[in-house]
Amino acid sequence: MRLSLLPLFTLKCRFVFLVMFTLTVIGFSSQPMAFQQTENDEHAGHHPSKDEKPTNEVSSIQPAIDTSSMMGPGMGKGMDKMMEKMGAPKPKDLYPSLMRMQSATPEQTTFLLSKATERMRLGNEQLSNGFMWLAEASQAEDYAQMQIALETVKEGIAHFDSGLATKRALLDGQEPRRVALTWFKTQMDILPSIPENNQTIIWGMTPFHTSIMVILLLFAVAMIYVYGFKMRRASALLAQLKNDENNTKASGTSQKNNTGLPTNTDTPIVDVETATPVPTNNGVNSDLSASIPVNSADSGMRRKVFSGEMKVTAIFIETHDVKTFRFAHPNNDLIPFSYEPGQFVTFSLQIDGVDKLVKRSYTIASSPTQTHYFEVTIKREEHGVVSRFLHDNVKVGDSLKVKAPGGKFFFNGKGENSVMLISGGVGITPMMSAVRYLTTTCWDGDIYFLFCTRTTKDFIFEQELRYLQARYSNLKVLVSMTQAKGTSWMGPQGRLTSGLIQDFVPEIEAKTAHICGPPAMMEAMKGILSGLGVPESQIKTEAFGPATPKSLNKPNVTQPVLEKVSEKQITFSLSGKQAPVNADETILDVADSLDIDIDNSCRAGSCGSCKVKLTKGAVEMDVDDGLEPQDKKEGYILACQAIPTSDVEVEA
């Protein structure tokens, strides 16, 4: 059908078609993504290699058809000229020139613009000739010549397009090399696609992508609403069940009252702080109020103290001389007391070879959030009666008598946004209780954990500290070894120094510090922190072991020993005993010599276990941290710290 219409083309129609096609080509060439990639043979035709001779792509077709009889003299002459052009080498001096230039001078720009203009003129001429020859070949129905004319039109478009793109880019001030690369990428169809000018972009996305995101967002909102609705419904059901349970209990009570049993509406409420617990056969406190854990710090220090037996459920070996003992309720109930991180438990032990009951206190190492058990970590001391007994004789299943909790030394994060926990040796145990508690309760303050020990084999809780530090970003750990030579330790060595602490803890003067360890280590740390600007009120300490003897602090150490004997007398009113006291002896020392039982634990003035009431005389104490302000007003003293300055009488 197309062949039957070709002879109908008139010269006027051909001219109008030529003008419209030319304008269309010019319009499309101005768009950055107007044309697709040319075929490989066409692209190779635009860029022949140096060693390749110019070839005629349709030369094999031309001899097959004799068209001389079908065209007029003008057409034949024009076609001969066209064939001559097609056989000539392709112009390639413009873009190679652009590729060799990094920047163009005004003269070079003028030269390149003229080349681009010439390329556009050549393309326009090829377009005009190609369309004219195409029309003449269409009238003559010469298909071979139509193909040649079409190739001429394509080449004219390519010339015109490249010249126009070059001219626009140069006039816009672009770099010549970039102009050439852009054109080559356009020919190879590797330029990034850009949206059309009339395409709306919302938040960097097309309308289609935006609609998909809106649908997903609406779906997410709907799912959240459905989840919230289900949770509200579940809460309402739980509340309804609770109300039904209360109503059932109330109805049961009313039914009992209807049986005629006497009802006393004036029954007093028993205060759990003063009520006497009823012991069971195994000696465990069965007071129900004591079995309810209170882990909140709001309950304060005035809470129920448990005294009874607890069972050893597990023993863990921490290092070569440190074990952790886990205790639980004998009936597998909740532990019958609550405590704060850093408080201690006192053991009352009957040890073979020791005449009287031995009491020792050990800090609880577990977190208060563990309500089914508590743990103490104990180092075996060669000359420690209780520690050797626990290490060598206690096994899983044994029951020991304990009293808990005790002590003022604790940190639960209330009112603070950061803390320093400094420890040495086995003094790490209260710090581990604090770290376990703070991390478990999601405390968001910064925790600076500083620990000093002798060697890697003495590093207690090493694996757990590594795990917690990797898991919680607010926990910073600094460990130093004093005898690391010959070990695999690659961290800081020596004791904790002022420079090491200052580099590790930023804004140290605003931090609260808790220190636990040997007395000498604690004194050194207090001096270092004071020197770094930490106020004395922000330094909390708890010593492990006996306090430093008062005689060591006196400058006059050359006096004869006999001068230390005084005529001061101590009277123990409850036991009815009396004894003289030496100049540096404490009330607890004298009580031990008389076999008078006064509870004691740390013997350093921190725990408050040895608190007794002074009814007569005066004493002096180096440390009174274990006393509350109300205790001081009521006349209580610490027997382990109190040295009489006159004749005294105490309730013991």
Q: Distances in Å between the alpha carbon of 515 and those of 29, 161, 461, 477, 530?
A: 80, 82, 18, 15, 13
Question: Which residues have CB under 8 Å from 131's CB, separation 6+?
Answer: 14, 17, 18, 21, 22, 149, 153
In this chain, the answer to whether the domains covering 418-545 and 554-650 adopt an identical fold is: no
Superfamily of domain 288-406 in CATH is Translation factors (2.40.30.10)
What average pLDDT score do residues 175-198 get?
Answer: 66
Q: What are phi and psi of 520, to 5 degrees?
A: -65, -40
pLDDT value of residue 567:
72
Per the CB < 8 A criterion, the answer to whether 624 and 610 are in contact is: no
What value does the mean pLDDT take over residues 493-501? 94
Of 29, 13, 41, which is closest to residue 165 (Cα–Cα)?
29
**Distance separating alpha carbons of residues 598 and 639, to the nearest angstrom:** 8
Give strand pairing partners of 516: 423, 542
Asked if residue 256 has pLDDT above 50, the reply is: no
**What is the C-alpha to C-alpha distance for residues 585 and 639, in angstroms, rounded to an integer?**
10
Q: Residue 535 pLDDT > 50, yes or no? A: yes
Query: Left, alpha or beta for 20 (phi > 0: left; psi -120 to 50: alpha)?
Result: alpha
- pLDDT given at position 507: 94
Give Cα 145 to chain centroid, integer Å.
Answer: 76
Q: Note the pLDDT tens digit of each residue in 413-439.
A: 888 899 999 999 999 999 999 999 999
How many Cα atoms occupy the beta-carbon half-sphere of 183 within 13 Å? Answer: 29
Among 38-52, 126-140, 254-268, the range scoring the smallest mean pLDDT is 254-268
What average pLDDT is seen over the chain? Answer: 76
Query: Which tokens is 136 given?
Result: 């003449």
Give percent above pLDDT 70 in the chain: 69
Q: What integer is the mean pLDDT of 308-328?
A: 96
The residue type at 176: P
pLDDT at 367: 96
How does 26-59 read in b/e, with b if 16+ C-beta sit within 10 Å?
beebeeeeeeeebeeeeeebbeeeeeeeeeeeee
pLDDT of residue 357: 84
H/E stretch holding 379 reads strand 373-379
Residue 214 has which token pair?
């809106």
| Banded pLDDT at 200 (limits 50, 70, 90) | low
Please state the three-class secondary structure of 505-533 as a single string.
Answer: CCCHHHCEEEEEECHHHHHHHHHHHHHCC
Structure tokens of 331?
């009936």
Tokens describing residue 217 = 């967002």
Beta strands in 276-321 (DSSP E): 306-319
Q: What is the pLDDT of residue 276?
A: 31
**Of 475, 533, 472, nearest to 502 (Cα)?**
533
Identify the pLDDT of residue 199: 58
CATH class assigned to 418-545: alpha beta
Say yes or no: domain 554-650 is CATH 3.30.70.20: no
pTM of model > 0.75: no
- Top-confidence residue, 459 or 601: 459
42: which 2 tokens? 């066409």
Most confident of 138-147, 153-162, 207-216, 320-329: 320-329
Domain residue ranges in the chain: 2-188, 288-406, 418-545, 554-650
pLDDT band at 495 (very low <50, low <70, confident <90, very high): very high
- Label residue 624 by pLDDT band (50, 70, 90): confident
The two structure tokens encoding residue 442: 């999601």
Task: Supply the pLDDT for residue 376.
Answer: 97
Checking if the pLDDT of 257 tops 70, the result is no
pLDDT at 528 over 70: yes
Give residue 208's pLDDT. Answer: 82
Q: What number of other Cβ atoms are within 10 A of residue 503's Cβ?
A: 11
Q: Which of 231-245, 318-332, 449-463 has the lowest mean pLDDT?
A: 231-245
Q: What is the mean pLDDT of residues 572-576?
A: 92
User: Residue 530 and residue 543: Cα distance in Å, rounded?
Assistant: 18
- On whether the CB atoms of residues 437 and 412 are closer than 8 A, the answer is yes
CB contact at 8 A, 470 and 497: no
Q: Where are the alpha helices (DSSP H) in 258-371?
A: none
Backbone angles phi, psi at 514, to 5 degrees: -115, 125
CB-based contacts of 440: which residues, under 8 Å, 6+ apart? 367, 369
The pLDDT of residue 372 is above 80: yes
